[in-house]
Amino acid sequence: MGKIAVIASDDIAAIFRWAGVRDSFSVSTEEEARKLLYKLAKDPKYTLIIVGASIAEKIARTIELITAEQEYPLIITIPERGITPSKRVDPLRELLRRTLGIEIR
């Protein structure tokens, strides 16, 4: 049984925390987000970490590194109000381009 964690902007984290994802964190700086993601990724109790698009944009490289190194937790980037995850925050993109030669939206 694994837990879910959310790292997002203030309002999104608050909604998830209120709706039942207790480990929802709001971060403001890039450094803070990176440290928190590393800390959560090391903790075996988490199976899924949901990262808001505004944060994911800042720590795209960290997400890629963690995803490449470990199977769990799975890290998913979600759109936030008005911000959709850009192409570079997709760890699958490069892998699929190399193996299948296709671009995934």
Partner 1 sequence: MAELGIRVTRMELFKLKKRLEIADRARQLLEEKRKILAMELMKYVDRIRELRENVDHSLADLYDALIDAEMTMGKSVVRGLLIPSTDRFEIEEFSRSTIGISIPILKLKMTRGFMATNPYSLITTSIKLDEIASRVDDVLVSVVELAEAQATVKKLAEELDKVKRRVNAMERIVIPKIQHRIRYIEMRLDEMEREDMFRLKRIKTRLERRRRAGV
Residues that bind partner 1 (CB under 8 A): 1-4, 11, 14-23, 47-48, 50, 67, 71-72, 74, 76, 78-79, 81, 84, 91-92, 95-96, 98-100, 102, 104-105
- Report, in Å, the least distance between residue 97 CB and partner 1: 10
Distance CA 44, CA 19 (A): 23
Give the shortest CB-54-to-partner 1 separation in angstroms. 13
Burial of 31 per CB tally in 10 Å (0-12, 13-18, 19+): exposed
